[in-house]
Chain A
């Protein structure tokens, strides 16, 4: 039988607990907030709303070279009911805009939106009668990733920024008046 070995590494040592911060009232509530933020940030399930070329770049981001699964986005749900991050990658035509809005409305709170690419951010080079000039005309967007198409590193940077937003978001943000006012601007109840 193989002899049991414990961790005999002398370089591992324990620090003293710093005063003030980690004890006292309100401590549990704040740390719960942080724990929830951490859980949300590191397990974002994306809904890829991939329309055109940026969708291909997104597929490359999910591949093994630039693996997006490292950031917790391993499981793509193609249903808005189960996802919390809507990744809009590609040109959105004006005829597609109500459909995009419907998909956004079907998502449950908390939900974040990334606009990947120039077309989703502002219409891109397609300044024409048929292309929606930016998805922020119909849904509120959290992070814009510029590029035509953005490199997978750029998309990863966008997802990392969403992670930062999700980690630091207050639990009551979705009930706040500011958020309600934001949704009213888009006509969303």
Chain B
């Protein structure tokens, strides 16, 4: 019932709302980067989704023009209901407005997403690397970079299946 309310309200108010998905563990939907802050604000004010659980990203190398997906997880503490919002971005220009004006927790979460995926949050007060070394020049969680340490010289490639 609450799902339907939100579904209706969002589909009427926001043109880029699509892919309402109730099959997975959390109700999720997709919005565009231009409207994400309005969606978050209206969910905050009118529906009570005032707890930002997580901001993260996923890299889909096979989707062209939409490779990076920024995922927001919202939680309503009163109704104990969760939402997942996905925003697909082009990897050439992964710009999205920051949610720090609405949620202070978004500050470090966006820094982490930038650190690992290279998503640029416009308007963020201090968008620098948070978990990796500052002078790292690549984004480790993108699929084109290997997980292993590139500076290792004593590894035998045959033993690692390469």
Contact = CB atoms under 8 A, between A and B. Distances in A.
A133 B152 contact: yes
A130 B132 contact: yes
Given A129-B140, A130-B140, A95 B149 contact: no
Contacts of B147: 127-129
Interface residues of A, number: 9
B149 A123 contact: yes
A133 B132 CA distance: 15
Interface residues of B, number: 13
A131 B149 contact: yes
B133 interface: yes
B132 A128 contact: no
Contacts, number: 29
A169 B140 CA distance: 45
A116 B42 CA distance: 53
B148 A128 contact: yes
Interface string B139-152: 01000010111111
B51 to A, nearest CB: 29
Contacts of B133: 94-95
Interface in B114-162: 131-133, 136, 140, 145, 147-152, 155
Interface string A147-174: 0000000000000000000000000000
A127 B148 contact: yes
Contacts of A130: 131-132, 140
Given A94-B133, A95-B132, A129 B150 contact: yes
Contacts of B152: 127, 133
Interface of B: 131-133, 136, 140, 145, 147-152, 155
Interface of A: 94-95, 123, 127-131, 133
Given A94-B132, A129-B132, 4 more contacts: A95-B132, A127-B149, A128-B148, A129-B145
The 3 closest A-B pairs by CB, nearest first: A129-B140, A127-B148, A94-B133
